[in-house]
Amino acid sequence: MVRLQAEMLIKLGVKTLIVTCAAGSLSKEVRVGDVLLIDGFLMSVAPRLPLVGGEFCSPEDAIDGKLRTLANTFFLGDEPKSVHVGGYAMMPGPAFEGRKYDKPFLASAGIKAVGMSVLPEACVAALYDGVKVLPMAFITNDAYEEHSHEENLRRAKERSPLLGGYLTRIIGAMPRT
């Protein structure tokens, strides 16, 4: 389904995808309520991606560094230390990754956030010349706390006005082609 949705947008002429997700932080400096601008993916733990035989690509090729730099000039509300840049790992859901082994393992690889999406959309975009992606994660939990899907949704809803304003500023500043 992710492939169908991403390809539909691309076939309709969309050249820039801003892909967002909720994720858990693996870094002490990336706090609950912050945004992580994703600059790369840990592919070795990812579930099966929406590609078929012969479609070889790197989803990192679709990440647009200029858009990330632009997005990094803004922050959530009046919180200047609320936006970070770093690596992301996608794990198969719907189960959360384990606090005892998964999270320390991923953090040791330099990963700053872990979630269950964003990577498939970047994979599909990487198949198309001229399509760029700005992937980002909203941080709903840290690496050590016990949390629930309901708590993560509550945190996202609570910060949604700030997230909406952040995205609006990014989109407003993007160059028009």
- Give me the residue spans of the domains in the chain: 20-173
The beta strands (E) that lie in the chain are given as: 16-25, 35-42, 83-90, 111-115, 132-141
Give the Cβ contact number of residue 165 at 10 Å: 14
Question: 176: helix, coil or strand?
Answer: coil
Q: What is the pLDDT of residues 21-37, one digit of tens each?
A: 999 999 999 999 999 99
What's the CATH class of domain 20-173?
A: alpha beta
Q: What pLDDT, in 10s, does the model give residues 66-76?
A: 999 999 999 98
138 - beta bridge partners? 22, 35
Here the tokens at position 42 are: 């840990």
